[in-house]
Structure 1
Amino acid sequence: MKVGIVVPYSWSFWGGVPEHADHQARALERLGVTARIMIGHDPPGRLTKYLHPRVGRHERPPAHVIPIGRSVIVPANGALPNIVLSPRAVFRMRQVLARERFDLLHVHEPMTPAIGVAALSFARVPLVATFHASGELAWMKLATPVWGFLAERLDHRIAVSQDAADSARRYLPGDYEVIPNGVAMPERADPAGRETRIVFLGRHEPRKGLQVLLRAWPEIRRQTGARLRVLGADPLQVRLLLTRLRVSDDGVDALGFVSERERTEELLKAKAFVAPSLHGESFGMVLTEAFACATPVVASDIPGYRDVMTPETGVLIPANEPHVLAQATVSLLADEPRRQQLGAGARRRARAYSWDDIGRRLLAIYERVATGSPAALAAAG
């Protein structure tokens, strides 16, 4: 079986959906499926620097990634995703689909132009879709009346969480199967012997709550002597945020964009992972990454995170409460036996999100829908 995985964002910039698709492709390949990812790509050069202030991975993508077009930053759902909107991408999608002759397409965020919508429009094979976003999804108020009818072409709908399913169902009624984001499991992860540091992972977006953590940081630093490793956010933006908050950068290391391997290494060294997001998290993908590394978590008690966290993996706290965040983090680092116990519990919890298991679930869906008449053909008449 040959499966095309469609992602409307850019491979060049780290994000949950592109990373999900990459792990999905690798899990399917291990099961004997030929998988290709169709996604945006922003090559190095002056235009990319002009369109994207962040530094990303601009080298040539790996062989299983098929670049479709450049992306632009589009505010959506409290985030700043890099979405491919070029009209050329529509024609490029048509060419790629004709050339690759996929047996099935799996489209992530299928209502997102231009790649996702183009895939639904041109496909003549079974279509599976995964819906990631949760919340109000204000942009769907525009999308649904214009191209929402294309959802009728979907043979199977997946959501990464119940919140994501409920959000999508408000605009596109139907049945959604919940299959969470997977996580790559390091071969070894020992919660003991860690350095006194905590990790934050996320882009510099207000909803990610970095500003909350930085307000809490002076107290955490004073009582624990820990270092804060900030991954994903642009270092210049972190420094500007520290200046605006009038918080010292003492003990703060802003590393910017890091590879998946580097993220894993950071998490394997840290005593705790802090996720102070305010809203808009459909699934705690960053939490399960920490779990896989046997790193306990202090996280906001919000939808998406609440479904992933358990008392055996870390601590849930009210969102947007710097003092409470500081207290919870200090308490966790002060009690080493408890911290190690939570780290071991997190590692056990991560096994429920193994990509090998999720790959098998996806393959079962593909085999089931491939035996029927594709809804895309029926819709096309």
Structure 2
Amino acid sequence: MRIGIVCPYSWDVPGGVQFHIRDLAEYFVRLGHEVSVLAPADDDTPLPPYVVSAGRAVPVPYNGSVARLNFGFLSAARVRRWLHDGAFDVIHIHEPTSPSLGLLACWAAQGPIVATFHTSNPRSRAMIAAYSILQAALEKISARIAVSEYARRTLVEHLGGDAVVIPNGVDVDFFAKAEPNPDWQGDTIGFIGRIDEPRKGLPVLMRALPRILAERPRTRLLVAGRGDEEEAVASLPAELRSRVEFLGMVSDADKARLLRSVDLYVAPNTGGESFGIILVEAMSAGAPVLASDLDAFAQVLDRGAAGELFANEDADALAEAALRLLGDPARRAELSARGSAHVRRFDWATVGADIMSVYETVAAGAAAVAADDAAGGATGLLARLRPARD
């Protein structure tokens, strides 16, 4: 099958949607399909062979963060050329309502379209104002996928219609088989995310840290992600700052090793999450997970059966739960075992097969419609050529 995938966000600034698209593309390539991904990218960004650059993106406030998007007349021309050259059997657009390549592709595409909705925004005036513009594009979509029940509910409330829920995928074995790093083991808490993006929740964890360190002074917090490290620890007493180790941006391999090494992974995110891929990665690595009780996180963690939850933005609740888990190796082992079993439903072997089923359904539907149109056209032509009877 010839598959065209549209990524709305810049390829050179990694994020959950980009990782999902990358892994999805590589999964289908391994199965022998022809895959092309259209994505914004700076000119000097090294790209995999299956990625086509649509040009440089610009930063735009979007979904409680700053996304790097691509829009405009030049981008539209590149989208049309990519669609023409690709002659795809199916076009898979991610975030078709974002002001980027997805919306442009939705307008321009003629073949069967599958759309995946990742966002869980509250209903906004901007969304209501844009409804009439978006509706014309959304009517061309043959099948809709939401990455979680929360994302599906957001889609229904914002734009009407419905979607099948297929979660983000993870290569579970990649994380499960990673080698722990001895330097990251022993009384360690892990955090992975953009340091200077408040909704990722690092400030909440920093507020909880003094209480944790008061009872467990040997504990270390390992932080992986980009951002201002000095600002991140500014709220901590000076004597505690050495207990926070910043690792910067880490490779996929080191991320897996980090998750395999820590005693506890904490996800203190405060909002704007429709899924929680980092929770799936942590469970894949066998890390016990403690997360804020966002609806999307609760769903991923099987309502607390595969990981513990604390009240969102409540630093005292986070500290209390973290101290209890750090002092209870048996409970951590139980969470690790439950998470490792639960996470198999998110493996690409399952998720990729579900997405391919959607592709095959819409492609078959498009072929049937084309055959009916061709048959109807031939019948009409014969009727016009047949002499009229008295």
Structure 1 pair 335/184, CA: closer, same or farther in 2 (3 Å)? same
Aligned to 2:135: 148
SS at match of 1:313: coil
Does residue 1:359 correspond to 2:345, yes or no?
Answer: no
Structure 1 pair 306/375, CA: closer, same or farther in 2 (3 Å)? farther
Q: CA deviation at 1:371?
A: 1.2
Aligned to 1:327: 320
Q: CA deviation at 1:85?
A: 2.8
- Give the residue type in structure 1 aligned to 2:35: A
The gaps in structure 2 that reach 5 residues or longer are 371-390
- Given the alignment, which residue of 31, 37, 60 partners 1:74? 60
| Whole-angstrom distance in 2 between the partners of 1:198 and 1:335 | 14
Please tell me whether the aligned partners of residues 170 and 348 of structure 2 are also in contact (alpha carbons under 8 angstroms): yes
| Whole-angstrom distance in 1 between the partners of 2:274 and 2:257 | 25
| Whole-angstrom distance in 1 between the partners of 2:343 and 2:72 | 38
Please tell me whether the aligned partners of residues 133 and 282 of structure 1 are also in contact (alpha carbons under 8 angstroms): yes
Q: How many residues align?
A: 362
Please tell me whether the aligned partners of residues 104 and 126 of structure 1 are also in contact (alpha carbons under 8 angstroms): yes
Q: CA deviation at 1:86?
A: 4.4
| Whole-angstrom distance in 1 between the partners of 2:369 and 2:150 | 27
TM-score normalised over the length of structure 2: 0.87
Q: CA deviation at 1:154?
A: 0.3
Please tell me whether the aligned partners of residues 210 and 276 of structure 1 are also in contact (alpha carbons under 8 angstroms): yes
Q: CA deviation at 1:96?
A: 1.3
SS at match of 1:82: strand
Pairs within 5 Å for 1:118-197: 118-138=104-124, 139-185=126-172, 186=174, 187-188=176-177, 194-197=185-188
Q: CA deviation at 1:38?
A: 1.0
Q: CA deviation at 1:256?
A: 2.7
SS at match of 1:229: strand
Encode CA deviations 1:211-245: one digit per residue, 9 max, x unaligned: 000111122233332221212231x2x32132256
The gaps in structure 1 that reach 5 residues or longer are 45-58
| Whole-angstrom distance in 2 between the partners of 1:63 and 1:190 | 29
Encode CA deviations 1:28-79: one digit per residue, 9 max, x unaligned: 22333222211111245xxxxxxxxxxxxxx411111111121122112212
- Given the alignment, which residue of 362, 366, 370 partners 1:369? 362
Structure 1 pair 182/332, CA: closer, same or farther in 2 (3 Å)? same
| Whole-angstrom distance in 2 between the partners of 1:175 and 1:71 | 30
- Given the alignment, which residue of 176, 197, 202 partners 1:205? 197
Does residue 1:291 correspond to 2:277, yes or no?
Answer: no
Q: CA deviation at 1:376?
A: 12
Q: Using CA pairs below 8 Å that are at least 6 residues apart, which structure has the higher relative contact order?
A: 1
- Given the alignment, which residue of 308, 315, 318 partners 2:311? 318
| Whole-angstrom distance in 2 between the partners of 1:368 and 1:375 | 11
| Whole-angstrom distance in 1 between the partners of 2:132 and 2:247 | 42
- Give the residue type in structure 2 aligned to 1:188: K
Aligned to 1:52: none
Aligned to 2:333: 340
Q: CA deviation at 1:189?
A: 6.3
Does residue 1:35 correspond to 2:24, yes or no?
Answer: no
- Give the residue type in structure 1 aligned to 2:191: F
Q: CA RMSD in A?
A: 2.4
Stretch deviating more after TM superposition (254-263 or 152-161): 254-263
Structure 1 pair 231/376, CA: closer, same or farther in 2 (3 Å)? farther
Stretch deviating more after TM superposition (33-42 or 367-376): 367-376
Pairs within 5 Å for 1:222-261: 222-224=214-216, 225-234=218-227, 236=228, 238-244=229-235, 248-261=240-253
Q: CA deviation at 1:10?
A: 0.7
Q: Percent identity?
A: 36
| Whole-angstrom distance in 2 between the partners of 1:358 and 1:23 | 11
TM-score normalised over the length of structure 1: 0.89
Q: CA deviation at 1:246?
A: 5.4
Q: CA deviation at 1:286?
A: 1.1
| Whole-angstrom distance in 2 between the partners of 1:151 and 1:358 | 24
| Whole-angstrom distance in 1 between the partners of 2:347 and 2:104 | 31
Please tell me whether the aligned partners of residues 210 and 236 of structure 2 are also in contact (alpha carbons under 8 angstroms): no
SS at match of 1:217: helix
